[in-house]
Amino acid sequence: MRILVTGGAGFIGAQVVAALTAAGHEPVVLDALLPAAHPQEPPALDAEFVHGDVRDPDVVRRCLRGVDAVCHQAAMVGLGKDFADAPAYVGCNDLGTAVLLAGMAEAGVRRLVQAGSMVVYGEGRYECAAHGVVRPGPRVVADLEAGRFEPRCPLCAAELVPGLVGEDAPADPRNVYATTKLAQEHLAASWARATGGSAVSLRYHNVYGPGMPRDTPYAGVASFFRSALARGEAPRVFEDGHQRRDFVHVRDVARANVAALEATAPGPGDGLHTAYNVGSGDPRTVGEMAATLARAHGGPAPLVTGEFRLGDVRHITADSTRLRTALRWHPQVTFTSGMTEFAHAELRPSAGAPE
C-alpha cells in the first residue's frame, strides 16, 4: 500500500515509516519540521518526503493523491506547561486532524490509523473492597501537598486497588492535551460514519525508546530520566515513585500501526471507529523504571522528591487484549531489554517544545 504518514519525521513517526518500509509498503511522509520540534535536520528517511503542515488543505490535498491509507502521527504531545498551551494543542491536534479528514473525504481515501493516547481515560481502573469498580475524582492539592497520593473511593474514602483499563472504560480527560486526543477520536468516528471509512485510534501508553526528544517539558518521563543521566544527574522521581505505568517500546508501537493498517484492505471501509490500547502488558512503577534505567546507564540512583504536577494521574495501565486478539499483535521488546538499550541510546535534540 501507498501510505501517507503525517508527522513521519518525529520520534514515533520515523519508526512507523521504517516498519512500513520493512513490511513492503510505500510510505509518504508529511512533516512540518517546525524548528521548535526539529532544531536540527532530522535523520534521513527511506521514503518520499513532503515538507508541509497538516493544517494546510492544499498540502494535504497534494499528499493524498494516489494514497491508499493514512497513518496520522502528527500532533503536539505531552502534558504541556500551563493552560496557555491550549490554543497550540487545539490547533495542532484537532484542527490538523479535521483538515486531514476533510481532505481524505474529498480524495476518497477511506482507511485511517491515528495516534491516540491513554490520557483519554484520566485515572485508570480502580476497585473498592466495598463498592467494586469506582472512578475516583481528580486528586486535590491539599492531599498531594501532604503526600497523600493514592486516590480514595469516592463513596467511602477507602483505599483502592488499581487494575488494567480496557477500551470500553469511560473517557475522562483531565488536561488540555488529553481533551484534544479524545476530540481527535470523535472527529475520526464522525468521518468514518459520514464517508463509510474505517478509522482506528491506537491509544499509546508510555512510549519510550531510541530517538526520544530530550530536555523538553513535553516529553515523557522516560526522556526526563534519560536526559538527567546523560548530564550525570540523578533522575528526579515525583510523588513517591509508586505510580504505575505501562512502558511500551517505540518499535512495538510502530508494529502496532503496521498491524492496524494491514488489518483490512483499503477500500470503502465499514463506517466504524475502533480504539485499541497499545501497551506492553507489563506494568511497572515510575520509581522502578527510573532505577532500572539508572543501573543500566551506570549513573546515580534516582531521587524521590515528593513533588507533583496537577493534571498527572496516579495509575494508568493498559489492557491490550483487544489489540492482541483482533490484530495478532504482541510486544516483542521486554522491559529490561528495552530499558537497557534506552539507557545508552541516542536522543533527539530539542528546543523545548513539542514534536
Check if the beta carbon of residue 89 is closer than 8 Å to that of residue 75: no
To the query of whether residue 121 is one of the catalytic residues in this protein, the response is no
| Alpha helix (H) residue ranges in 92-210 | 96-107, 141-145, 176-195
Check if the beta carbon of residue 48 is closer than 8 Å to that of residue 17: no
| Burial grade of 298 (CB within 10 A; 0-12, 13-18, 19 or more) | exposed
* DSSP track, 284-336: EEHHHHHHHHHHHHT-PPPEE-----TT--SEEEE--HHHHHHH-----S-HH
Other C-beta atoms lying within 10 Å of the C-beta of residue 135: 16
Go through the chain and tell me how many residues it has: 355
Q: Check 177, 204, 208, 218 and give the catalytic one.
A: 177
Task: Report the distance separating Cα 198 and Cα 183, nearest Å.
Answer: 17
Task: Report the distance separating Cα 284 and Cα 79, nearest Å.
Answer: 20
Check if the beta carbon of residue 354 is closer than 8 Å to that of residue 77: yes
How is residue 68 written as a grid cell? 491508499
Task: Report the distance separating Cα 239 and Cα 143, nearest Å.
Answer: 11
Q: Which of 216, 232, 251, 223 is nearest to 297 (CA)?
A: 232
Q: Which of 103, 121, 120 is nearest to 112 (CA)?
A: 103
Place of cell 536522543: 347
Residues annotated as catalytic (active site), given as ranges: 177
